[in-house]
Structure 1
Amino acid sequence: MERLLATSRYTFAVPLSDGYGLFHASTGSVFRLHGRDAKKLAALLSGNHSLVHESVLGAELTTQLQRAGFLVAPDADELTAVRERYWQARGNAPVVLLVTTTMDCNLGCYYCYESRSDEALSVDDADTLVDIAKERLGRRGKRSLHIDWYGGEPLMNLEFMERASQKLQDFCAAAGIAYHASVVSNGTRWPQDVGGLVTRHRIREVQISFDGLKENHDRRRRYRPLHRGEQDLSSFDQAVALVDQLVRHTRVDLRFNADHGNAGDLAGFIELARARGWFDAPYRCVLMVAKLSAYSDRSAFLRPHELSAEEFEELQEVAERLLPKEAQDDQDIVGGFPHPKTSVCGALAPDSAVVGADGLEYRCGLQVGETHRAVGSFRRDLPLVAAASPGTDGAWWDSFDPTRLPTCSRCSFLPVCWGGCPKRHLDGDGTGVAGEGQYWRTQLPRQVAAGFGESVPQGFAFTEADQFRDDSREADDENEAWHA
């Protein structure tokens, strides 16, 4: 009996110099179509739900497309497969403790939404941190621990960091647990022996943020009153000098925070990094362009400064054009092509935690200091400060499932996006959530074309109709026979 198959809701087609490139968002499969019927076949496979007889495409091509996921059984439940992979990723997520050593910071960035204070973890909290690690690792018998030192400026509480790091490493060594760490820093409070600190704390990655070239960076990242020492250079010069050293000892992730005022600095900053040898150093140096955005009510004042989607896309094109390939952020690229997600945001990892400098537990690092968002307390003598319904946020994080959301469940970008930043959903940030879809409409075709070694045609982007397919319509069974 002749097979009857259906087109997948997760297939995307990108025009290339010769034919079309197919990408399947759920399987990660790619396929190139050539010939006079390539356009018609690409439209069929990437359009609304259609039924296809095997004889229309021929047995060999039909089998190839089915194996890759572009054709599925008529009754296939593709959404359930994505849901199962999502929950498997949550359960398999590694144990990560984001440790806010202090809420204090020596710089006063105009866009900072955190509540600067003298709250800090004490050396006596180091044993508590070890207890937290033991409990989280023991939940599912996991054998790897990652510590992300965070702030404020985490190195302004170096005494705690030294004590806690050593105790955590001693515990992991005795228990046979793999240990590694990372740091998010402004780059102005590191000791002279940078290599020694990296080695001592087993730091495998450091994120340093820049707000443009020197003039823009120093104007935006001013020293707060009484926080600048006599020997301090400008915040830009100190961060640059630190990266000069870090790239000889560990991976460095450069974060270029972009808004309307500094977007023009990107090309010059990339040239500066190249001239200083950051991209040719012993350890990898990656640059990521980040759009300054309002991630919470506390940062709503950033809305007027945000780049539009089109402006941000132009910046990303500059980065792609000028950065060497090894310096581009490719965490979602496998074998040159975009790939369906297999990991989750740390806030969704059931065994991870954000340790606040106030002794409270949070699920998201962007919530640190918002005590009404806390989901627990790490200090026995410190009661949980919560909203009228204590624990509500914790239950929300535990149950968050983009595959069951009215919009995300219908979205064909779902397997590569998983709803984007979950905090936007928690906060009811409809603008931010919609921005995720707009991002993928422009970026996914560029990524797919790049995987084929080409550039997407100027102005090409996926549409809302590509993003939200009509799964109810069935094509006429009497398709005219044709061959790709």
Structure 2
Amino acid sequence: MSDLRPSRYAIHSDSVYAGSTGQRLRLVYGTRRAVTLALTEETADQLKSGHVPTADPQLLQRLLDVELVVPTDDELHALVTRSRDSAHTDALRTFTLMPTSYCNMGCTYCGQEHTKGRLPANHRDAIASRVQRAITADVTQSVRVRWFGAEPMMGYAVLRDLSRRFVDAADRAGVDYQASMVTNGSLLTLRKLRQLLHDARVNKLCITLDGPERIHDRSRILKSGGVSFTRITTLLTEALADEELADLSFELRTNVTTANAEHIEEYLHQMAAMGFAHPRVLFSLEPVHSWSNDVSDVALSSEVYAEREIGWLATMMSLGLNFMIVPTASKPLVCGAVSTNSEIISSTGSIFSCSEQPLVPESEATQALAHITEIDLAARRPEGPFHDWHDQIEGRSVPCAGCPMLGVCGGSCPKLWSEGISPCPSYKYNFQQRLALVARKYQLTPVA
């Protein structure tokens, strides 16, 4: 078919595997739809050589459905157009809210500056009015709120007050409303978890644990002088056993540095032994990166991290811990920084496009796009420094256009690219090894 061709946004396994019937298979991963297929070696080789398999109409339709076979028009333009459309849709509004500027931890790699205090009443009312206006807009179908920090639980009263207003407005308007929270976890209790889930509609918590107990408590230091690992893990165990919290899921994130990299294996074994191989717990290992601060002394190089990571992922698989082997969803919108339908409102009342700008002194002073008490409540936030991101990709001013990962990566981080830092995700460097883990998961045997 002359009007079709294999997508160039695809990755083929180097290895050949034996299927249950003895067929020789290759794994082919399409990043446009984040789908992995086990194809016969012959079919995979046809695709890799630029030919469209046409002998089997059902197979061809499957390849079209997952966009491993695509029209012969400009494929990059098609991907970028999808991203632009996602950035400009009015149906979804997203708000990242910071109910306080204080954190009870003093993590060594944090780039934020924390001060005590909470939102002044006029700021709180202005935020409530702005989000409520978005909820009740005729074009809005869904609203997502992410509670962020500093440490959002330090502003728990503000969070509950604002959540009550948002939920009431969404219920009256018939708008889908969901919330999530990024928290250090040290201030959570079962009672508060129930309130967060049932009253504030927070159905996902991202909690950071930086290794086994002694390593975590050394890295994520409570300003009171106390420790948090045992408190957090005990609460998680109780929460997973609580039927009232059955709709609440957890992501356990680990910021990997030179200080804790040697202890990740121990941490994973400890978490498995504590019962966290659970369907509602997702493990996420992430290399520490600059938050407008210098982390070069504690960061692993991308290549070294990717090599170490494969061993950790294999350990998680053997222990039954849940994690992302390869991305399972495409990424039409790289992040909220490229869409005026997404905004971050700092505890200072300043509105930003990027979540790494609030509470960073230089960014607070120079990069705020507006102030919550001054902007028209119905207006989208002003365009930020990354509003031309799609033009940059299509114009090839960043190297993402030619990368087969574009469909699932989206370019990763416009801010870091603008600072001359390559933010490519670790899976760019170890994808073949990840495909081997996919094969292992589905009991495919390597034969070549």
TM-score, structure 2 as length reference: 0.81
Aligned to 2:415: 423
- Answering whether residue 372 of structure 2 is matched by residue 375 of structure 1, we say no
Distance 1:426 1:137 in 2: 33
Per-residue deviation, 1:167: 1.9
Counterparts of 1:265 and 1:397, CA distance in 2: 37
Cross-structure match for 1:472? none
The Cα shift of 1:359 comes to 0.9
The code of the aligned residue for 2:253 comes to: R
- Kindly provide the amino acid, as one letter, of the partner of residue 156 in structure 2: L
Q: Distance in 1 between matches of 2:2 and 2:292?
A: 51
- In the TM superposition, 1:194-343 aligns within 5 A as 194-198=192-196, 199-224=198-223, 227-228=224-225, 234-247=227-240, 248=242, 249=245, 250-280=248-278, 284-297=280-293, 299-303=295-299, 308-324=305-321, 327-329=322-324, 332-333=327-328, 339-343=329-333
Stretch moving more, 270-279 or 151-160? 270-279
Tell me which residue corresponds to 1:11: 10
Aligned length: 418
Structure whose CA Rg is larger: 1
Give 1:101 shift. 1.4
The answer as to 2:29 corresponding to 1:23 is yes
Counterpart-to-counterpart distance in 1, 2:125 and 2:217: 38
Q: What is the deviation of 1:254?
A: 0.8
Q: Could you tell me how far apart the structure 2 residues matched to 1:268 and 1:300 are?
A: 25
Residue 347 of structure 1 pairs with residue 347 of structure 2: no
Counterpart in the other structure of 1:158: 156
Separation in structure 2 between the aligned mates of residue 29 and residue 189 of structure 1, nearest angstrom: 39
**How far apart, in 1, do the equivalents of 2:194 and 2:218 lie?**
31
Q: Which moved more, 1:270-279 or 1:202-211?
A: 270-279
Structure 2 unmatched ranges of 5 or more: 19-23, 376-380
Per the alignment, residue 432 of structure 1 pairs with: 423
**CA gap 1:400/1:437 in 2 versus in 1, 3 angstroms:** farther
- Call closer, same or farther: CA 1:33–1:329 in 2, change over 3 Å: closer
Residue in structure 2 matched with residue 90 of structure 1 by the alignment: 87
In structure 1, list runs of 5 or more residues that go unmatched: 334-338, 382-391, 459-484
| Shift in Å, 1:33 | 4.4
The Cα RMSD (Å) is 3.4
CA contact (8 A) 1:361 1:377 kept: yes
Which whole-Å deviations, capped at 9, do the CAs of 1:443-471 have from their partners, x for residues lacking one? 6634664675437799xxxxxxxxxxxxx
Residues 377-419 of structure 1: CA deviation (Å, up to 9, x unaligned): 11239xxxxxxxxxx9934332211344342122222112211
In the TM superposition, residue 260 of structure 1 has moved relative to its aligned partner by: 2.6
Contact 1:123 1:159 in 2 (8 A): no
Structure-2 separation of matches of 1:403 and 1:62: 33
Seen in structure 2, the aligned counterparts of structure 1 residues 266 and 393 have a Cα distance that, compared at 3 Å, is: farther
Give the structure 2 partner of residue 464 of structure 1: none
1:28 shift after superposition: 5.0
User: Percent identity over the alignment?
Assistant: 21
Please tell me the residue identity of whatever aligns with 1:432: P
8 Å CA contact retained: 1:139, 1:351: no
1:194–1:278 CA distance, 2 compared to 1 (3 A): farther
Which AA in structure 1 matches 2:344?
A: V
| Residue-by-residue CA offset, 1:331-382 (whole Å, 9 max, x unaligned) | 932xxxxx5334542333431211101110111211112212221111239x
Aligned 8 A contact 1:332 1:341 in 2:
no
Q: Which moved more, 1:105-114 or 1:348-357?
A: 348-357
- The CA distance in 1 between the partners of 2:374 and 2:6, in whole Å, is 56
Matched AA of 2:83: Y
**Cα drift, residue 330 of structure 1:** 6.7
Q: Which segment is superposed worse, 435-444 or 171-180?
A: 435-444
What residue identity is the alignment partner of 1:341? K
TM-score norm. by structure 1 comes to 0.75
Are residues 223 and 340 of structure 1, via their aligned partners in 2, closer, same or farther at CA, if it must alter by over 3 Å?
Answer: closer
Local SS of the residue matching 1:312: helix
Say whether the 8 Å CA contact 1:446–1:455 is kept in structure 2: no
Query: Given that residues 66 and 72 in structure 1 are in contact (C-alpha distance below 8 angstroms), is that contact kept between their aligned partners in structure 2?
Result: no
**Aligned partner letter, 2:141:** R
Distance 1:442 1:423, change over 3 A: farther
How many angstroms does 1:284 deviate by? 0.9
Measure the CA separation in 1 of the matches of 2:295 and 2:382. Answer: 20
Moved more, 348-357 or 440-449: 440-449
Alignment correspondent of 1:126: 124
Deviations 1:20-67 (A, max 9, x none): 2333332556554446xx3xx6455325xx5x5x8xx6x515884476
Cα gap change, 1:428 to 1:265, in 2 (>3 Å): same
Q: Deviations over 1:255-280 (max 9, x none)?
A: 12222322343333333333333334
Q: Is the 8 A contact 1:267 1:322 kept in 2?
A: no
Mapped partners of 1:342, 1:409: distance in 2: 14
